[in-house]
Amino acid sequence: MPPRQLWIFKLGCWATVATAVAYLALHVMVFGLSTTDAGRQALAMAESSRFAIVGGGMRSLADLFGAASLMFDVLLAAMGAAGLAAARTDDRVVVRGVARVFSIACVTLVVIALVDMSLVFAMLLAALAVCFILASVVSPEG
């Protein structure tokens, strides 16, 4: 793998970790804040509606959304850390394989973000996808 591709891969990994930190900060700052009466009512309903979770007791809808948000942050950070660990090896086949898996995952996340979230989230994830796609292409040098 040429040094430029390895650098792009590492950039994508660090950007993935930074995106996880940004999502975590957004989760901590925004989760539960609402400025309208309708928003406060919706949040109160989400916190008061309880569901019986197998093995987990009673959880509210807000608990489930909060947990899913935090799990997404942790998985993004783990993805970046795993990529950086793979980049430390001198095996270009491993790094290229990891880059291909990450690019598929990021493109899937971009599609989900475009359909169910906002354009800002989709653009952040698309930047990660571009880094991993560029790192996964076989260059003429090998």
pLDDT digits (tens, 9 = 90+) for 71-114: 888 999 999 999 999 999 878 889 999 999 999 999 999 999 89
Confidence check: pLDDT of 142 > 70: no
Confidence check: pLDDT of 64 > 70: yes
49-61 pLDDT per residue, tens: 787 777 777 877 7
32: left (phi over 0), alpha (psi -120 to 50) or beta: left
DSSP 18-66: HHHHHHHHHHHHHTT---SHHHHHHHHHHHH-EEEETTTEEEEHHHHHH
Per-residue pLDDT, 69: 82
Per-residue pLDDT, 126: 93
48 burial (CB, 10 Å; 0-12 / 13-18 / 19+) is exposed
The torsion angle over the Cα atoms of residues 50, 56, 62 and 66, rounded to 10 degrees, is 180
* pLDDT, greater one: 134 or 140: 134
Confidence check: pLDDT of 27 > 80: no
Model-wide pTM > 0.85: no
